[in-house]
Structure 1
Amino acid sequence: MGKRGFWVGLFISVTFVLFWLGGMPQAAAFTEDQKVFLQAWRIVNQAYLDEQFNGQNWWLLRQKILRRHFDDREETYQAIEEMLRTLDDPFTRLLRPEQYRSLQVSTSGELSGVGLQIDLNPETHQLEVVAPIAGSPAAAVGIQAGDLILAIDGVPTGNMALDDAAMRMRGKTGTHVSLTVERPGQSGQRTYEIRRDRIELNPVYARLDEETATVPIGYVRLSQFSANATQELKNAIAQLTKQGAQGFILDLRNNPGGLLQAGVDIARLWLNDSTIVYTVNRQGMLDSFDAEHNALTDAPLVVLVNQGTASASEILAGALQDNHRAQLVGEKTFGKGLIQSLFELPDDSGLAVTVAKYETPNHKDIHKLGIMPDQVVHQDPILLDEVGTEVDLQYQAAIQLLSPLASQGSPIVQNGLNSLRAIHP
């Protein structure tokens, strides 16, 4: 009787296990779509900052979704997006293949294409050339700022999304693309056959302002923390110093961030022997990035910030502010204190996953709070060609702050802001 009871119990146990396993696909039976989903799940499981996954059972969610049948890759992507939405973290997201490639291009600092900066005209919604990149194939054939792109390889651009237009103009070096262009104020259209080439994207714009201030001021605008941003900024600082700059304005307005390492390396161009940023991982362990004694200049510095200053831009701004290396002028920053890493999935799509958070050198967590500038100057929206002019109130405030300090060769201190109090708009 004892043996019979043992075998009955064993049969029930085995039946239960087989029944439970039958409720979900077996490892050997996973489809290619399920494997893509599983890889996404594993990445988040291993790397995501919040070990509680927003207070839910991450394994149970996996099993629930895997019981479905994915008919195609789009359904797989939708399942991954559904899974990620439960984290309530807009920065942890799926990047479809074209989005993943585009993000890699924008952070690498180079691409293969025709070399045009494009936008949709806000009034006409036509595809418009903002500017050709100097030395690019587009510049070589004569395309100019303000030209309207009517068709790409014969495909009309009237209802074409900006990303779609950019992807159509990119391609392998040596291949060709045709652009049908109309120039405002001139009659007729012209079609250009352009040979694609390797394009280096320079995120830095620099010039010496010898007219607005009482002393020469070096103005540097950084649009993104891409792989080549540090070297380009280093070159700009050296050139402006050679030209006689006695102070600097670093413009981080509307800079959405980019590579963490670029933000750290750029901070090292301005700081000596200082902590740049602290990072905190999912185990709560603290690490830091520090500057050694390698700053390129100790000239007075003002940093321009606004609501579009985010992520790596805030790391840089916070480091310069907390270490009293610069004063911040403008408006409160965006408030993104989380760090993402990129992971590639088997089908060339990718995941951006929040893996850590950061604190400024004074241990301020700025996530959803932002960084308050030392001098608040509100600014209505202005055009790109109005930056640095009399209508750019934030720039003018920076100039007024820098002029006496640069001429004295003194560091920027809090008292140096007193003279600006009366110019608040």
Structure 2
Amino acid sequence: MFCFAIHICSLRALPVSRLAKFSVFVPLKPISIVVPKRKKLISYRCPCNTVKMVNKNKSSAFLVFAVIYLLSNSAIVCFHKATSCLESTYAAVALTENSSKREVELLSEIWKLVDNYYYDKTYSGHSWNQVWKEYSGKLTSKRESVYKVATEMMKVLKDPYSVVVRPADFRRLLKYDMTGTGLLLAPSDDGNLLVTGPPPKGSPASKAGIRVGDRIVAINGKPVKRMTNIEAAETLQGDGKSQLVLILDSKGTNSHYRTVTLSREYSNENAISSYRIFPYNTEGKEYRIGYIKIREFNASVAHKLLQVVNNLEQQGANAYILDLQGNRGGALEGAVQVASIFMEHGTVVRILDRNHHEDQLTVDSSNRLLADNMTPLTDPIVILTDKYSASASEILASALHDNCRAVLVGEKTFGKGLVQAVFGLSDGGGLILTVAEYQTPNHLNIHKKGIEPDIYLKQRKPISVIQQWEKVNERFRQCQQPIENLNNRHEQRVDGF
């Protein structure tokens, strides 16, 4: 599986799409996931931002695009495969006098998702079947009762990150929609893509009249059935600017097609709150340190950061401070894309599903984001953290640190090492569910532990960091020396050969 922040999934988070792209999730089953613009396929057992699209005849599960909800301590978005999005999860249970079939079915949707994808297969020491029997009997014929009962039911898990979200809250996280369309998708039975949740009001998909049950048979002129998993995900993502032309089959008869053009719309909220250049001279070298404050990892963070880096490079920047203080995370994909700006290759994060199967999200030269071909690959970087730096912030910090691209300065981070997926519900609500845990590239489990900085710093203003620059350089030398020695030995072997 693969996860990263994006909001377009269902629930309070957003849909599903390319690891952090949509706002709604749907019932999923363990399957492989593919991250757009990445060659590596990831196998996961829960919904996430990016997904590997697999036809049902080739896999017992469907892939879904999902997004993570920014919880109080921040969350990460992932893409996961799912069983048929519209497959009924209605449990065999007799209706009570006070409840209706519709209410029971909705609660059953939630119960079934937890049953299939919650990362703790012991459900915090409870029999999940017994939990169903207990809580389904509390339903009434009012829709609100479903959310009250479901909220109580979820408390059994003792997981503050797994929550049920009402439909009214579902439309609030468009800034994490990595596709900019508001689409909630999963593979359909016939190998196309199925719209599994109502597009958020005001989104391009909503304005175009796209509805639940519509099938997408072609994207930008290419039949979905002929696309590879990666092609489908990348085509939906596009270049972040282009329009998306879809051919829809609204009645599922292969005879009623219509074409819609979606102009991508991203949140105007700027993830980069400030940046500037700090001149500094030390050890006979003149530094022009680019300081960048990143508030959160939303759909626009990577592209805005590219603009900022381009501007700072033109001003002669040859070192960077990425300030993640107070940044509680956001879209995992945003963190991955930011990492790709500063590192040429390497593992960004390791994902472990509930069966303890590990997958990696990586960066290589083919999927890096470049700032006018001036993207820094060797400039020293400082990641500035505090106790509120969490989730996607910790993923970026550990990715650059473990790949010898950054020195960590400041306080120990928050310590959130769990991955949530966002599932869309049939009534427009959603479920945010912990589906996996993650580790740093160096196999460090940071949950409830946090990431220790290389250099502790009480005063964490940019100038205070710059005053520690000689220590920063020494840390870089210590990290890079083994790599240089390895390269030298390799060159000697080549010469000898």
TM-score (structure 2 length as normaliser): 0.55
Aligned match of 1:63 in 133, 136, 140? 133
Deviations 1:219-252 (A, max 9, x none): 1111111111111112211221111112100011
Q: Give the structure 2 partner of residue 354 of structure 1.
A: 434
- Using the aligned pairs only, state the percent identity: 32
Three-state SS of the structure 2 residue aligned to 1:272 is: coil
Contact 1:281 / 1:355 at 8 angstroms: preserved in 2? yes
AA paired with 1:81?
T
AA paired with 1:258?
G
Which structure would you say has the larger Rg?
A: 1
Question: Given the alignment of the two structures, is residue 215 of structure 1 paired with residue 287 of structure 2, yes or no?
Answer: yes
Task: Identify which of structures 1 and 2 has the higher relative contact order when contacts are C-alpha pairs closer than 8 Å and 6+ apart.
Answer: 2
CA, structure 1 residues 268+97, in 2 after alignment: closer, same or farther (shift >3 Å)?
A: same
- The list of structure 1 runs, each at least 4 consecutive aligned residues, that deviate by more than 6 angstroms after superposition, is 170-173, 403-406
**Cα distance, 1:402 vs structure 2:** 3.6
Three-state SS of the structure 2 residue aligned to 1:215 is: strand
Question: Given the alignment of the two structures, is residue 280 of structure 1 paired with residue 344 of structure 2, yes or no?
Answer: no
Residue ranges of structure 1 left out of the alignment (5+ in a row): 1-20, 112-169, 174-196, 380-392, 417-425
Three-state SS of the structure 1 residue aligned to 2:364 is: strand
Q: Give the structure 1 partner of residue 158 of structure 2.
A: 88
Deviations 1:268-307 (A, max 9, x none): 1111221111000011100001121347212111011011
Contact 1:263 / 1:316 at 8 angstroms: preserved in 2? yes
Q: Give the structure 1 partner of residue 320 of structure 2.
A: 248
Q: Distance in 2 between matches of 1:364 and 1:321?
A: 12
Q: Distance in 2 between matches of 1:72 and 1:101?
A: 22
Q: Give the structure 2 partner of residue 398 of structure 1.
A: 465
**Cα distance, 1:206 vs structure 2:** 4.2
Contact 1:209 / 1:217 at 8 angstroms: preserved in 2? yes
Q: Distance in 2 between matches of 1:109 and 1:281?
A: 23
**Cα distance, 1:357 vs structure 2:** 0.6
Q: Distance in 1 between matches of 2:410 and 2:455?
A: 6
Aligned match of 1:231 in 303, 326, 331? 303
Q: Distance in 1 between matches of 2:151 and 2:290?
A: 45
Deviations 1:84-104 (A, max 9, x none): 1111110011112232221x2
CA, structure 1 residues 69+359, in 2 after alignment: closer, same or farther (shift >3 Å)?
A: closer
Deviations 1:282-333 (A, max 9, x none): 1110000112134721211101101110111101111112222111111111
Q: Give the structure 1 partner of residue 149 of structure 2.
A: 79
Contact 2:175 / 2:299 at 8 angstroms: preserved in 1? no
Q: How does 1:8-87 map to 2 (within 5 A)?
A: 24-25=94-95, 30-87=100-157
CA, structure 1 residues 22+98, in 2 after alignment: closer, same or farther (shift >3 Å)?
A: closer
Q: Distance in 1 between matches of 2:140 and 2:266?
A: 39
Q: How does 1:129-144 map to 2 (within 5 A)?
A: none
Residue ranges of structure 2 left out of the alignment (5+ in a row): 1-90, 181-200, 205-264, 481-497
**RMSD, matched Cα:** 3.1
Q: Distance in 2 between matches of 1:22 and 1:245?
A: 64
Question: Given the alignment of the two structures, is residue 328 of structure 1 paired with residue 408 of structure 2, yes or no?
Answer: yes
Aligned match of 1:105 in 171, 174, 178? 174
Aligned match of 2:446 in 343, 361, 366? 366
Q: Distance in 1 between matches of 2:335 and 2:266?
A: 25
Three-state SS of the structure 2 residue aligned to 1:200 is: coil
Deviations 1:40-88 (A, max 9, x none): 1111111111111111111111122122332422221111111111111
Aligned match of 2:388 in 295, 301, 308? 308
Q: Distance in 2 between matches of 1:75 and 1:270?
A: 49
Q: Give the structure 2 partner of residue 152 of structure 1.
A: none
TM-score (structure 1 length as normaliser): 0.63
The structure carrying a bigger helix percent of its residues is 1
Three-state SS of the structure 2 residue aligned to 1:69 is: coil
